[in-house]
Structure 1
Amino acid sequence: MSSVIDDAPFTSFHRRLAVACSGGPLLDGYILSIVGTALIGMTPELDLSTGDVQLIGAAALIGMFVGGALFGVLTDKIGREVMYTADLIVMGACSIASFWAESTWLIVILRFVLGMAVAADYPIATSLLGEWLPLKQRGTLLGFQIVAWYAGSVLAYVVGYLLLTFGGHGSWRWQLASGAVLCAFFLIIRQSTAPESPRWLAQHGKADKAAEMIERYLHVRVDPATLVESDGQAVVHGSLRELFQPTYRKRILFCCGFFLCQVAVLFAMLTFGPQILASFGMPGGTWMDTLGTALLSMVFLIGCLPAMRLIDTLGRRPTIVWCFGLMIVPVLLIGLWPTMPTLLAFAMLLLYAFFCGGPNVLDWTYPNELFPTHIRATAVGVATSVSRVGAALGTYLLPWSLDHLGMGPTFLFAAALTAVGFLICVWGAPETKGRRLESAATVPISIPMARPEPA
């Protein structure tokens, strides 16, 4: 199985699958970022308090925490196919329903459900993609998923800017509903790609169907008997408990830890980008802070491009360690000098965004490479869930921190959290460059050296 897929030529099928699977990350970036511009008009119309703004900003992230943990386990148990399109339908329905929302709590509930649907897509789509990709393209195209996230974020701020310009503050309903258009687009694309992973099928006693799918999509005929990975043993079903057993404990703690430390700062910056830029002196509630946040999102995306190459040349470990170390510098400088000129502060934010490219492209590459098929989606779901705890806390606490502590202490805390992420990477980041998927997911067994017998 490993050699058939890992050594397969890269074809248009892989490209279509990568685009189809990027729908979840792109919608995540769009849905979480569009609320930043929607709040500009929503706040006065619905008379939102600071607490209301915090709840709306964090609701989708809390939903992702629940959805990631729940649907990751289900994806490993029942397959990648079951929720492959249903989650997009739920996202579209919630986006449309947001247009008619008249209360804070209804918006909070809808965004919570949106978060659950987005989180469901990560373990489904990234596991499906990782289990179909050839070895040489695996790191790049798994990293491409986070590029799609930032593309969605940039698109959200561009759409928000245009709607604010031509529709005024009352356009916030159209902004929240606009995600349904993207849902429909990716729903159509997904109809022409593989619905299930042959690795998962072979491991669950469906080698004939796995061989049929390999022949259909990779144009390689294989004997179903050669695809059976369980060697006649009972099918292994993964569980949350297995992830935290000694075999995989260090790997899951590493994936969850660096992901959490990264996105806690990142999501707060993007969700409340206009408010942060206004704190530096840019006029608030205008096109300047909206386009400024769009530029910040664009640099987050641009930083992923060299990182996608570095993880396959320099390697996964040095890329993430060096990038995390460099991310500390700009937020620390802002924390130490919070009254720096507006343009210099904006430049520091752009530097942070660029250096963040390394961890970004490894957010889903590492969890998909470090765990075997029977717990791969579970690991992706857990890492996503834990990261969203940090993102929700960062998003919820940022407005309070800016109001009560000020810019300096807020960014010093961001620098400290980034430093924790750096230490986690130094401690736990493995190297998986150039390794087959099954090999990368295999944990080396330490065999103690035998003591010499006394003479």
Structure 2
Amino acid sequence: MYSPDTPPTESELYQEASAKTVQEYIDECPVWSDGTKSSVTPMTVMQWRIWMLASAGKFFEGMVVFMTGVCLPLISVEFGLSAADKGFVTAATLAGILVGASALGGLSDLVGRKTMFIAEMVIFTVFLIALSLAPNFFWLVVFLFGVGVALGCDYPTAHLVISESIPTSMRGRLVLSAFAFQAIGALMGTIIGCIILLKDPAPSAWRWMYATAIIPAVLVVIGRFFVTDSVHWLVSKGRMEDAEYETKRLLNRRPQYPKEVKLRHTHDAKKPRPKAHYGLLFNKDNRKATILASLPWFLQDLSTYGIGIFTPTILAAMIGAKTSETTIKDIIHNDMLASKGSAIMDILFVLGIVCAIMLVDRVGRIKLQIIGFIGCALGLLLAGLSMNADGGNNMLLLFVGFMLFFFMTNLGPNAMTYLIAGEVFPTHVRGMGAGFAASFAKIGAVLTAFLFPILLADIGTEMLLFFLVGASVLGAVVTFIFAIETRGLNLETIGQRQTDEEVEFEREADAELA
């Protein structure tokens, strides 16, 4: 870099003129011989590798969390669980996600995206092995919590390693495509549970259900060692040489382009800012983003995890399962029956996210989230109205309501809250912001997971469903009031906007003190 007292050489002027930002390199499109730009930015092998390995984390989350609904009746038999004990089992993983998202997810802003990308999967694998060997109820809860801590770290980290490595035009679709693996994992977890119950109809079958994810998890750990670190993060730390090297690796293609990488210092890297801490999420400039990312996610998790985990339990009570569970045979029968009904709902979960992927860059994040919340409220209302006071239930209305809920939650709030949380914060606090939002959301998930078994027994399914209708309506209202649409904005633009406001705020504060 030349100083004001030393005129720049022609070479320095050329290098400065040809330098680009990280996102400019990633977003660059091929040009035809007549000067026409292609409308598609080609993805490299490394970019697809990052996407696949990040998708695996969401798959494991859906598989483990929602498989718990299938495992719970069997665990209850083996360990003799009370209603409160069942609440601890279902809430343990979600409580771990709550802790992991903020305690570990925020570390990606300090030590790097790749470091935490690897660490979280190592933690997940270790606790998953321990979970399949859990000797008693206490250690079962501990190991489920440990699995949740790893999955919580994955919430912000997986989002960031994808969104900071791919073209802006594809960010929404690819982040949601990765998130779709949560739904695929939920479906696979239910199918695996059914298969294992058919092959081994014993209370200990739940151990094999969890163990099926161990070998895939080990393979994912190995694969994550061979991806690039986030170039956006390296630039934000001023590590320009490392950033240029990682950009070459990220964009390695045949024929090689670009042949040389010269990154331009962005505003985000050059302007001084206070040390990153969670207090920055609540300052004047980030407060709106924090509310938008956190509160609607909390409200949707009340429904998504409560209904998702306990769909087998609810359906077992309403679609003809045996009322007597005095024998192992009856328990296995009820579990199989409920799991099949739950698998049908999981298919709607997958269809919802597929539609979200197709519409997110056309309709926009905010509109889809509002539409989804309203659809969830309607679905839960129909399910609630299907229950009659005399004990008879309108099964058609029940299934239509549940199917509408499962479809709309992934079309809207379940998918959009995850996407929005990783997009509305600047680079230097993006991990903390996304991690805080995920942690705050999981407070709702933990509350419903712990309280659902108790409330189902005390106030009944109907009142619970009507309560969740209100939560969904409130989610739509909050989204509308605090809306920030990020469709079509690259992450450097989002970071630039936030940092300019932050610097201006600090300038005004200094003037007042003077």
TM-score normalised per structure 2: 0.83
**1:95 maps to which residue?**
128
Amino acid at match of 2:321: P
Q: Which residue, out of 299, 305, 315, partners 2:354?
A: 305
Measured after TM superposition, the shift of residue 283 of structure 1 is 1.2
Measured after TM superposition, the shift of residue 216 of structure 1 is 2.0
Q: 2:133, 2:207 within 8 Å by CA — same for their partners in 1?
A: yes
Q: Which residue, out of 160, 173, 176, partners 2:210?
A: 176
Q: Tell me the distance in 1 between the aligned counterparts of 2:222 and 2:106.
A: 26
Amino acid at match of 1:177: A
Q: 1:326 and 2:375 equivalent?
A: yes
**2:474 maps to which residue?**
420
Q: Give the percent of matched residue pairs that are identical in Structure 1 and Structure 2.
A: 25
Q: 1:335 and 2:396 equivalent?
A: no
Q: Which residue, out of 274, 281, 285, partners 2:312?
A: 274
Q: Tell me the distance in 2 between the aligned counterparts of 1:205 and 1:70.
A: 24
Q: Cα–Cα, structure 1 residues 38 and 228, in superposed 2: closer, same or farther, change >3 Å?
A: same
**1:391 maps to which residue?**
445
Measured after TM superposition, the shift of residue 224 of structure 1 is 4.2
Q: Any idea what SS the aligned residue of 2:154 has?
A: helix
Q: Tell me the distance in 2 between the aligned counterparts of 1:31 and 1:415.
A: 26
Q: 1:73, 1:239 within 8 Å by CA — same for their partners in 2?
A: no
Q: Tell me the distance in 2 between the aligned counterparts of 1:174 and 1:64.
A: 23
Q: 1:24 and 2:57 equivalent?
A: yes
Measured after TM superposition, the shift of residue 236 of structure 1 is 5.6
Q: Which has the larger radius of gyration?
A: 2
Q: Tell me the distance in 2 between the aligned counterparts of 1:187 and 1:291.
A: 32
**1:349 maps to which residue?**
402
Q: Which residue, out of 9, 19, 43, partners 2:76?
A: 43
Gaps of 5+ in 1: 448-455
Deviation string 1:232-279 (CA, Å, 9 cap, x unpaired) is 444764211000111111111111111111111111122122111123
Amino acid at match of 2:119: A
**1:377 maps to which residue?**
431
Measured after TM superposition, the shift of residue 197 of structure 1 is 0.6
Q: Any idea what SS the aligned residue of 1:301 has?
A: helix
Q: Which residue, out of 93, 102, 127, partners 1:69?
A: 102
Q: Any idea what SS the aligned residue of 1:268 has?
A: helix
Amino acid at match of 2:440: V
Q: Any idea what SS the aligned residue of 1:272 has?
A: helix
Q: Tell me the distance in 2 between the aligned counterparts of 1:385 and 1:166.
A: 38
Q: 1:187 and 2:221 equivalent?
A: yes
**2:422 maps to which residue?**
368
Amino acid at match of 1:266: T
Q: 2:382, 2:400 within 8 Å by CA — same for their partners in 1?
A: no
Q: 1:207, 1:228 within 8 Å by CA — same for their partners in 2?
A: no
Q: Cα–Cα, structure 1 residues 46 and 430, in superposed 2: closer, same or farther, change >3 Å?
A: same
**2:33 maps to which residue?**
none
Q: Tell me the distance in 2 between the aligned counterparts of 1:56 and 1:425.
A: 32
Q: Tell me the distance in 1 between the aligned counterparts of 2:400 and 2:142.
A: 36
Deviation string 1:65-101 (CA, Å, 9 cap, x unpaired) is 1111111221101111222222212211211112221
Measured after TM superposition, the shift of residue 286 of structure 1 is 3.7
Q: 1:330, 1:349 within 8 Å by CA — same for their partners in 2?
A: yes
Q: Tell me the distance in 2 between the aligned counterparts of 1:439 and 1:399.
A: 46
Deviation string 1:360-393 (CA, Å, 9 cap, x unpaired) is 3223221221111101111111111011110011
Q: Cα–Cα, structure 1 residues 226 and 358, in superposed 2: closer, same or farther, change >3 Å?
A: same
Q: 1:163 and 2:196 equivalent?
A: yes
Measured after TM superposition, the shift of residue 123 of structure 1 is 2.0
Q: 1:240 and 2:294 equivalent?
A: no
Amino acid at match of 2:82: S
Q: Tell me the distance in 2 between the aligned counterparts of 1:41 and 1:420.
A: 36
Q: 2:382, 2:397 within 8 Å by CA — same for their partners in 1?
A: no
Q: Cα–Cα, structure 1 residues 92 and 445, in superposed 2: closer, same or farther, change >3 Å?
A: closer
Q: 1:214, 1:220 within 8 Å by CA — same for their partners in 2?
A: no
RMSD, aligned α-carbons: 2.0
Q: Cα–Cα, structure 1 residues 352 and 308, in superposed 2: closer, same or farther, change >3 Å?
A: same
Measured after TM superposition, the shift of residue 231 of structure 1 is 5.6
Deviation string 1:190-215 (CA, Å, 9 cap, x unpaired) is 24422x11111111121111111112
**1:450 maps to which residue?**
none
Q: Tell me the distance in 2 between the aligned counterparts of 1:98 and 1:67.
A: 18
Deviation string 1:400-453 (CA, Å, 9 cap, x unpaired) is 121111121111011011111111111112222112222234249699xxxxxx
Amino acid at match of 2:401: M
Q: Any idea what SS the aligned residue of 1:83 has?
A: helix
Q: 1:260 and 2:298 equivalent?
A: yes
Q: 2:105, 2:116 within 8 Å by CA — same for their partners in 1?
A: no
Q: Cα–Cα, structure 1 residues 179 and 225, in superposed 2: closer, same or farther, change >3 Å?
A: closer
Amino acid at match of 1:272: F
**1:453 maps to which residue?**
none
Q: Tell me the distance in 2 between the aligned counterparts of 1:149 and 1:231.
A: 34
Q: Select between 387-396 and 96-105 the one with higher mean Cα deviation.
A: 96-105
Q: Tell me the distance in 1 between the aligned counterparts of 2:114 and 2:267.
A: 20
Q: Which residue, out of 14, 26, 36, partners 1:5?
A: 26
Q: Cα–Cα, structure 1 residues 40 and 231, in superposed 2: closer, same or farther, change >3 Å?
A: closer
Q: Tell me the distance in 1 between the aligned counterparts of 2:292 and 2:271.
A: 31
TM-score normalised per structure 1: 0.93
